[in-house]
Structure 1
Amino acid sequence: MKDFNILKKFCQKIYFVGSGNFWYEEDIGDDRKMIYRIYNVLLFFIYGSMTILEIFAALLGDFPKDEKGDCVTFAVSHTIVMIKMCYVISNKTLIRKLNYDMVSVCEEFEETSLQKKKYYNIKINLIAYFVTVYFSATCFVFEGLRKVKEGSHFVTIVTYYPSFEDDSLSATVFRIYCTVVLFMMLLTMIMSVDAFTMVNLIMFKYKIMTLRRYFEKISEDFKEMHKINRRLAVENLATGLTKGFQVHKELLRILKDIDKAFGFVIALQLFQSSGSAVSLLLQIAISEELTFVGKLKIMFFVIALFFLLGLFLCNAGEITYQSALLADSIFYCGWHECLWEYQPKGKKIGQMVLIACIQAQKPLVLKAFKMIELTYGTFLLVIKTTYSIFALFNAQSGND
């Protein structure tokens, strides 16, 4: 499946979940229509209201230990989710332009085999993340049903209203309403922010791989043609290199747009995954009353947080790794076999290759808040640091 089809279908789903039209054309839908604006405002008002009630519950609410822990976790997580969604929507103009660039750049170099791998990669990662998130949410529902069976009330999301003692019909209806809102919010979060960011990172990674294969192909073509017609081989190599260098320049510009559009999202996820994971793991370690389902819901929440962070950082790290291979592909194109008299006027192949190699040797590294490098190493560091902090707090609580 081509990038055009992948991104357009994705933008259709984003439009459906109420975040607006991120496609660079209007054929998906007009998000400026009054009825869609009402839908958009109403949806985010519902999400925002629930998040505010969670924050009040965390700060002012009087709940049992397990509900208080869930309350704090959801209040922090959903606040970050709201910030991420608002940030992405505020960059809609930039993202629409980015979608156009992602579709058009490298289009003529695309290989069917690489396109299939890219689509499979996106599909598998998206399904795995979707299942992890919703299985975690389902565990919260099962825990709520277990409490009902034991004579308590049903609850998944803990909000300031209703209070813990309130078991009236209106309170029950509101708790069920919050559960429905949670599942809706998760869908909007996945499609509009998390998966959308992941898709752009994977696509850009494959753009770099496509460009690298292109340089390798023109090198092979040059070697074959050089045996038959040296002048034509040199001319074709010069033309091919010029085209490849222009695409590389475009990719460098697009990466800056990706950083502007999604860099803040990745940075927030970095802190959310590590901070929330410590809090959640401590709930398991400290609490002696957690049921199996209770532990399961927390573990899958932690897995979902780190799985998303892994998707972000590992794909960002893969961009750095693949871009580091470009310099070799450019250098070994066969420029040293190009005789001076055969080179087109104004196109000194050796000089062009030298400049391109210098540019390609600068690693393409995305950074959180322009400080923390988003790479494989950072992902491993976050996991180690999270466990170290958890072990420290757990040891201190054990001594107390």
Structure 2
Amino acid sequence: MKNRYILKNLCRKIYLAGAGDFWYEEGVIGNDKSFLYVMICYALFFIYVSMTILEIIAAVFADLPKDEKSDSVTFAVSHTIVMIKIFSVMSNRKLVKELNYKMVGICEAYEVEKTVAENYKIMKMNVYAYVTAVYGSCACFVFEGIRKMQTGSHFITVVTYWPFYEDDSLTAVLFRFFTTWVLCVLMVTMIAIDSFVMVTLIMYKYKFITLRIYLENLRVDFDKNNYGGNEEFAANKLQTGLIEGIVMHRDLLRLSKDIDRSFGTVMALQVCQSSGSAVSLLLQIALSSDLTFVAGMKIIFFVAALFFLLALFLCNAGEITYQASLLSDSIFYCGWHACPMRRNLRRLVLMACASAQRPLVMKAFKMLQLTYGTFLTVVRSTYSVFALFYAQNE
């Protein structure tokens, strides 16, 4: 029931962020088809898209100082990817609802309170750390804008094509403050979607842990029941329990394809965003001789948020592979060897072990492997590209 509460609560936050209702029970979270909600969502995303387009035009055509030009490129790339990520999840709403239904139902009857509590604690820690990194970066951008305003320049966080750099009219100032507010609201929607993907991966990982505990408990129960005159009952109970475990394992393996179809675009684009934006941001630090402390902190927070989210995606996906690989031992040591007359039980164990030994590797688009190794490769590649550009500009 705890997993149901976690996903339902997260879907409610996504609904309040304007991305729609992703809960599989209609009308429980809210009515995302009502006229008022639809109009608010259209208005909100029209503002998001308009600001992103203005950022792209500024990055391509605007004549700006070096620091603002760098910020315009970074924001244009990052916010374009963010919008694609959000729209990709929203376009797969039906698939996501089905995924939530399956995620809640599989292994629900055998969830252990201690394991679920640990699962929930890790989710909260990851989400809170991600929120801190994102809004820490936003705060630094705001403080840098205030510092510029106090030194005789104009306040700016989001660099857009209009207002122009020389425009310090009241309308221009108000529009710059407005884009800052839009940035903060956009981050709420982005965090809700990213957290949704992150929580799904963590919950999926703990489903394998729950299944492993269930299989290990089969052996404990078998040893308790397998005494003189009760061998037949113990063997029957072991066989029934093993069949149920095999069914749960099959359903969990199928769930990986649902996760790929629902969130594959988000995870793949995060790899591109983290590596591409990080190179641009790190070069700002390396090549700017007059970078202020706050300006440096805004870049560091931004890079930290990008790589922290990428680590949450790829490392949790890698942990899924590891937890799934432990199931073969749990199946093999379930107690089948103490049932010498049950050849059908032996065949079940053989097939189940063979299935569990095939590595479950999470992928995006069925190509990009989501593993610890991929994360390390992205980090090393990002540093290599940064070092190459830095050496050429020395």
Q: Give the Cα separation in 1 of the matches to 2:179 and 2:231.
A: 72
Q: Please list every run of 5 or more consecutive structure 1 residues that lacks an aligned counterpart in the other structure.
A: none
Percentage of pairs with the same residue: 58
Residue of structure 2 equivalent to 1:380: 376
1:270-289 to 2 correspondences below 5 Å: 270-289=271-290
Task: Tell me if structure 1 keeps the 8 A contact 2:134–2:302.
Answer: yes
Q: Give the Cα separation in 1 of the matches to 2:42 and 2:305.
A: 28
Residue of structure 1 equivalent to 2:20: 20
1:161-172 to 2 correspondences below 5 Å: 161-172=162-173
Q: Give the Cα separation in 2 of the matches to 1:245 and 1:370.
A: 24
Residue identity in the other structure for 2:272 = F
Task: Tell me if structure 1 keeps the 8 A contact 2:123–2:202.
Answer: yes
SS of alignment partner, residue 152 of structure 2: coil
SS of alignment partner, residue 29 of structure 1: coil
After superposition, the C-alpha distances for 1:162-215 in whole angstroms (9 at most, x for unaligned) are: 000000000000000000000000000110x21000000000000000001100
SS of alignment partner, residue 168 of structure 2: coil
1:323-338 to 2 correspondences below 5 Å: 323-338=324-339
After superposition, the C-alpha distances for 1:16-47 in whole angstroms (9 at most, x for unaligned) are: 01000000112111111111110111111010
Residue 157 of structure 1: how far off its partner (Å): 0.1
Q: Please list every run of 5 or more consecutive structure 2 residues that lacks an aligned counterpart in the other structure.
A: none
Residue of structure 1 equivalent to 2:248: 247
Task: Tell me if structure 1 keeps the 8 A contact 2:270–2:310.
Answer: yes
Residue of structure 2 equivalent to 1:390: 386
Residue identity in the other structure for 1:77 = S
Residue identity in the other structure for 2:168 = D
SS of alignment partner, residue 30 of structure 1: coil
SS of alignment partner, residue 123 of structure 1: helix
Q: Give the Cα separation in 2 of the matches to 1:197 and 1:4.
A: 15
1:2-13 to 2 correspondences below 5 Å: 2-13=2-13
Residue of structure 2 equivalent to 1:197: 197
Residue 339 of structure 1: how far off its partner (Å): 3.0
Aligned length: 392
After superposition, the C-alpha distances for 1:329-379 in whole angstroms (9 at most, x for unaligned) are: 101111111131xx4xxx811111111111111111112332221111111
Residue identity in the other structure for 1:260 = R
Residue of structure 2 equivalent to 1:361: 357
Residue 227 of structure 1: how far off its partner (Å): 2.5
Q: Give the Cα separation in 1 of the matches to 2:23 and 2:355.
A: 31
Residue identity in the other structure for 1:177 = F
Residue of structure 2 equivalent to 1:93: 94
Which stretch of the first structure deviates more once superposed, 369-378 or 254-263? 369-378
Which stretch of the first structure deviates more once superposed, 180-189 or 227-236? 227-236
Task: Tell me if structure 2 keeps the 8 A contact 1:140–1:294.
Answer: yes
What is the CA RMSD across the aligned residues, in angstroms? 1.0
Residue of structure 1 equivalent to 2:217: 217
SS of alignment partner, residue 165 of structure 1: coil
Task: Tell me if structure 1 keeps the 8 A contact 2:260–2:365.
Answer: no
Residue 88 of structure 1: how far off its partner (Å): 0.1
User: TM-score normalised to the size of structure 2?
Assistant: 0.98
Q: Give the Cα separation in 1 of the matches to 2:227 and 2:180.
A: 70
SS of alignment partner, residue 151 of structure 1: coil
Residue 328 of structure 1: how far off its partner (Å): 0.7
Residue 266 of structure 1: how far off its partner (Å): 0.4
Residue of structure 1 equivalent to 2:120: 119
Q: Give the Cα separation in 1 of the matches to 2:386 and 2:237.
A: 59
Residue of structure 2 equivalent to 1:79: 80
Q: Give the Cα separation in 1 of the matches to 2:387 and 2:147.
A: 30
SS of alignment partner, residue 348 of structure 1: helix
Taking a change above 3 Å as real, the CA distance of residues 369 and 100 of structure 1, as seen in their structure-2 partners, is closer
Residue identity in the other structure for 1:203 = M
Q: Give the Cα separation in 1 of the matches to 2:219 and 2:371.
A: 30
Residue of structure 1 equivalent to 2:226: 226
Task: Tell me if structure 1 keeps the 8 A contact 2:32–2:38.
Answer: yes
Task: Tell me if structure 2 keeps the 8 A contact 1:263–1:366.
Answer: no
Residue identity in the other structure for 2:350 = L
Residue identity in the other structure for 2:23 = W
Residue 305 of structure 1: how far off its partner (Å): 0.2
Task: Tell me if structure 2 keeps the 8 A contact 1:144–1:153.
Answer: yes
Task: Tell me if structure 1 keeps the 8 A contact 2:137–2:299.
Answer: yes
